[in-house]
Amino acid sequence: MPPYMSTNFTIVKGDSKTIRVTVKDPDGVVVPITSYEGRFTIKKKPDDTTYILRKATSGITGGSASQMAIYSALAGQIDIFILKTDLVDFATATLTAVAAASILNNEGFTLVDTLGNSVVFKFSKDGGAVTGQTVTVAITTGMSADQIAAAINASVTAYATFRSTVLLNVVSIVQAIPGEDGNADNSDTVINVGFSITSFVGGSDEPLAGLYYYDVELQAPTSENISTVVPPSAVTIADQITNWKGI
């Protein structure tokens, strides 16, 4: 497989980006890649056997069309899809709800977002008055734990700095802004011990600033071997900006 001429890329941590690689021969002529499979990796060192990011097409184990896919086979173009979650991690927390019968009016919980803001959620039970809240969660006496969780989920996911999903009586909450600052302590004022909220954990600013390497490999449909089309090339990763630099 002839080499691809390297290109520089810049990505902002927390943003998504599509990198389009065009495979050309040494004379600059496009090489068609019909039915080819591909793999993209970033490593700390060119000869490392582990990587900090890997993308692959659907025909490669662990790959999928949402990671990497041929854009135009005849034009020799293949896309690598970098997601906002690839270079930084979003902190997560878990809330376990109880039935409304175990919740008092004006009880609630507090989430702290990545920006350091405390967001107070208070339960208004059967229309009861609440105080000190950022968000009011309306509930009624007969609601089950699953229904309470659904009400919490709707309130949390509607707030700009959080995302959430619900399964039965458990709400999984994710910071909308990634990074280590999202690893914040949460709390609740619900007396019933069955109700709980964990702190946010798992937020990361990785990879750390420094020099890394990326390469792109393609596999022809008639070959069992995968060939490098972008040899190990420099990747400079800054604290806020990631520069993908091919040399």
Provide CATH code, domain 92-197: 2.60.40
Helix runs in the chain, H state only: 145-157
pLDDT of residue 239: 42
Cβ neighbours of residue 213 under 8 Å, at least 6 residues apart?
42, 43, 44, 45, 46, 232, 233, 234, 235
Match domain 9-85+206-244 to its CATH number in 2.60.120, 2.20.25, 2.60.40, 2.40.360.
2.60.40
Q: How far is CA 45 from CA 42, 197, 232, in A?
A: 9, 40, 9
Radius of gyration, CA atoms only, the chain: 24
pLDDT of residue 227: 55
Strand order in the sheet with 196-197: 162-167, 170-175, 92-96, 196-197
Cα–Cα distance measured from residue 230 to residue 22, given in angstroms and rounded to the nearest whole number: 10
pLDDT of residue 97: 98
Length of the chain: 247
131: left (phi over 0), alpha (psi -120 to 50) or beta: beta
What pLDDT tens digit does each residue of the chain (247 aa) get? Answer: 444 445 566 666 667 788 888 887 777 788 888 988 888 887 777 777 777 788 999 988 888 999 999 999 999 889 999 887 777 778 999 999 999 999 999 999 999 999 999 999 999 999 999 999 999 999 999 999 999 999 999 999 999 999 999 999 999 999 988 888 999 999 999 999 999 999 999 888 766 555 677 778 888 876 655 555 555 554 444 444 344 333 3
In the chain, which segments carry CATH 2.60.40?
Answer: 9-85+206-244, 92-197
Strand order in the sheet with 17-22: 17-22, 77-82, 68-72
Q: Is the dihedral of CA 100, 105, 107, 111 positive or negative?
A: positive
